[in-house]
Structure 1
């Protein structure tokens, strides 16, 4: 998605060899016009899929998921990373490791929001090592729901997440695919002629 790639080039900040900071438009401050465009693009990419729910993990996946839900006209459910006093029992849960924060997160979703009748599209902000998506897939399996696909805002193709999902035959669409970070700059996959 050219609009997203341009925004990453303009406002993204490369930190080290494998971290991209996009807090000024995606995961701290949110650009709603960009989110709306991304929601419409996910709708186009998964056109025809009988999606009944959008699923994501709090918190950075919520904005793109909500705008995708708006485009699909379906509810959005997000997995909580922290226990809530109002959500105690009847939960689906999984453990996911955050490479960015170097911690295990226990994610959970109330059973009343996901069931065997649901056809799910997972939306997340980043795909790197695939841990967040794997956790959501575990929850989808627990619910007996059916996965229709995975939509990723920014994919780091030099990490193993996509490979893990491809091995499982999962339909994955990424709006921006990063091949590398070189000298503090983002190199997109199509710039490397690997598309």
Structure 2
């Protein structure tokens, strides 16, 4: 997606060899018009898949998934990172290690919102080491639903999480793949 690459170059900020900040349009401040284009692109990229639900993790994936859900015309569900009083006690769980927070945590989704009849597309903002996608895949597998694939806005190919998950048979499609951020210069696949 060429417009995404342009936005990354123009608005992204590289912090060290592995942190890319795109919080001006993707995951802090939201460029909703641009996210609408992202949602349309995911619909096009996954047009060969039957999708009945979109799954993401809170927080950064929600806006992306919600707008994509409009284009797919399906419900969007998101796994919560913390247990709360308003979350059903009967949940599917996945384990995630957060690269940016440097901690392990469980993500949870009420069993009310995912069933074995569902055909699930996972969407998220970033793919680095693949931990979020692994945790979300764990939820889909435990539910008995069918995983149709995973879409990410930006993949950091140099961290190889996507490579490992693809080797395990996961269909992952990235709208932009960054191969290096050496000395602040972003190189795309």
Residue 193 of structure 1 is matched in structure 2 by none
Matched, 1:6 2:36: no
The residue correspondences of 1:171-190 to structure 2 (distance < 5 A) are 171-189=171-189
TM-score in terms of structure 2 length: 0.98
Following TM superposition, by how much is the alpha carbon of 1:169 offset from its aligned partner in structure 2, in angstroms? Answer: 1.7
Following TM superposition, by how much is the alpha carbon of 1:48 offset from its aligned partner in structure 2, in angstroms? Answer: 2.9
Residue 108 of structure 2 is matched in structure 1 by 108
Q: Which runs of 5+ in 1 are unaligned?
A: 190-195
Distance 2:123 2:167 in 1: 19
Residue 97 of structure 1 is matched in structure 2 by 97
Structure 1 moving runs of 4+ over 4 Å: none
Residue 192 of structure 1 is matched in structure 2 by none
Secondary structure of the structure 1 residue equivalent to 2:60: coil
Cα displacement string for residues 45-104 of structure 1 (whole angstroms, at most 9, x for unaligned residues): 100311000000000111111111111000000100011211141100122000111011
Cα displacement string for residues 147-193 of structure 1 (whole angstroms, at most 9, x for unaligned residues): 0010010000001211122112221110010010022121111xxxx
Distance 1:95 1:49 in 2: 26
Secondary structure of the structure 2 residue equivalent to 1:152: strand
How large is the RMSD of aligned CA atoms in angstroms? 0.8
Residue 57 of structure 2 is matched in structure 1 by 57
Q: Which runs of 5+ in 2 are unaligned?
A: none
The count of corresponding residues between Structure 1 and Structure 2 is: 189
Give the conservation status (yes or no) of the 8 Å contact 2:17–2:183: no
Secondary structure of the structure 1 residue equivalent to 2:179: strand
Matched, 1:44 2:47: no
TM-score in terms of structure 1 length: 0.95
Distance 1:16 1:164 in 2: 23
Cα displacement string for residues 116-168 of structure 1 (whole angstroms, at most 9, x for unaligned residues): 00000000100000000000000001100000010010000001211122112
Secondary structure of the structure 1 residue equivalent to 2:41: helix
The residue correspondences of 1:165-176 to structure 2 (distance < 5 A) are 165-176=165-176
